[in-house]
């Protein structure tokens, strides 16, 4: 190809882009790829997870503005562009029975309308590749599942001139991937590597819950080598200060161990309109 390659990463909340595929995005930016993060909601209902910031009345009152500022800092660290779809965070319902979702939230939005909002952005940015979540949302947060739903609809609709008239010239992305960074193979490899080194592993409970659940194993079709950008990923994640404890388990595993044991970020190819050979090491395989 002679034109610049373009990648769109569709995420539910600010901070998702820094915990899912961030090193891959930073790698592609360094290689000259144009990368856009599409953030569906403002993250207004996200809990303040950093103990150092809990109880801060300003943050609690202005959480929307605070999270937007965090997103801008992370965007600059990653070197990507970013656009808001403008929907309101649904929150993660908890309890038994689960409470109803709040009125006006993203997960209750009209699916066709929300997909049209994403189609407009796709036609404007014209990505060759889109990344999003699988049908389970990666984990069953209602906003993640809604993100999957509208991403799949928009991928198919964006290139069809008969759908969503008035939202720009049709553009057909060529490939769509599911983020699969939190896969079992990586988790087990990291867990055993830490134990073999006499270190504490934060993954024991994860694996126990995995064994107790009926969570299906995913097919890792594409593993992008990006270990040299793990530090950039972590800096972007820490920029989301309300959501991340910098002293928490995310950051206890030395980067050199991560690079040695699992130096890739992993994806599942869900849709492709080009010929490619699996497994891949490049989201643009078959397009370049």
Give the pLDDT mean for 86-90.
Answer: 97
Residues 224-237: what's their mean pLDDT?
Answer: 98
Strand partners of residue 8: 36, 130
At residue 110 the predicted structure's pLDDT band, cuts being 50, 70 and 90, is: very high
What's the token pair of residue 155? 């991928």
148 is in an annotated binding site: no
Q: How far apart are CA 197 and CA 92, in angstroms?
A: 36
Predicted model pTM:
0.96
d(CA 284, CA 278): 12
Phi, psi at 38, each rounded to 5° = -100, 115
Degrees to nearest 5, angle at CA 42 with 41 and 45: 100
Higher pLDDT, 209 or 143: 143
Q: What class does CATH assign to 6-182+219-272?
A: alpha beta
Question: DSSP class of residue 101?
Answer: P
Q: Where does residue 272 fall: left (phi above 0), alpha (psi -120 to 50 degrees), or beta otherwise?
A: beta
Alpha carbon of residue 258 to chain centroid: 19
Taking the chain, what is the end-to-end CA distance rounded to the nearest angstrom?
A: 5
Residue-range domain boundaries for the chain: 6-182+219-272, 184-217
- Residue 13 annotated as lining a ligand binding site: yes
Q: Do 279 and 20 touch, CB atoms closer than 8 A? A: no
Q: What average pLDDT does the structure give for the chain?
A: 95
Residue 192 marked ligand-binding: no
pLDDT band, residue 3 (cuts 50/70/90) = confident
Q: What is the pLDDT of residues 115-161, one digit of tens each?
A: 999 999 999 999 999 999 999 998 889 999 999 999 999 999 999 99
How many CB atoms sit inside 10 A of residue 216's CB? 9
Is the confidence at residue 1, as pLDDT, over 70?
A: no
């Amino acid at each position: 190809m002679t034109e610049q390659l373009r990648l769109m990463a569709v995420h539910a909340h600010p901070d998702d882009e820094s915990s899912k595929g961030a090193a891959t995005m930073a790698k592609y930016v360094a290689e000259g790829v144009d990368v856009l993060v599409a953030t569906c909601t403002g993250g207004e209902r996200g809990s303040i997870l950093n103990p150092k910031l809990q109880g801060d009345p300003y943050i609690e009152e202005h959480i929307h503005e605070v999270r937007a500022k965090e997103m801008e800092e992370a965007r600059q660290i990653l070197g990507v562009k970013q656009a808001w779809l403008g929907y309101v965070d649904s929150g993660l319902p908890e309890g038994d029975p689960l409470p109803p979702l709040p009125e006006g939230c993203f997960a209750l939005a009209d699916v066709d309308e929300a997909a049209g909002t994403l189609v407009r952005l796709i036609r404007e940015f014209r990505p060759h590749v889109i990344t999003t979540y699988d049908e389970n949302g990666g984990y069953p947060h209602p906003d993640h599942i809604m993100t999957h739903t509208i991403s799949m609809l928009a991928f198919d609709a964006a290139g069809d001139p008969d759908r969503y008239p008035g939202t720009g010239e049709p553009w057909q992305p060529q490939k769509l991937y599911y983020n699969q960074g939190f896969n079992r193979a990586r988790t087990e490899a990291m867990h055993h590597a830490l134990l073999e080194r006499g270190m504490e592993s934060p993954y024991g409970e994860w694996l126990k819950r995995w064994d107790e659940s009926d969570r299906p194993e995913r097919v890792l079709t594409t593993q992008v080598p990006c270990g040299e950008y793990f530090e950039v990923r972590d800096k972007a994640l820490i920029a989301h200060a309300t959501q991340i404890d910098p002293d928490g388990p995310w950051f206890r595993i030395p980067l050199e161990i991560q690079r040695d044991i699992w130096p890739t970020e992993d994806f599942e190819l869900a849709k492709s309109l080009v010929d490619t050979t699996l497994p891949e090491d490049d989201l643009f395989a078959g397009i370049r």
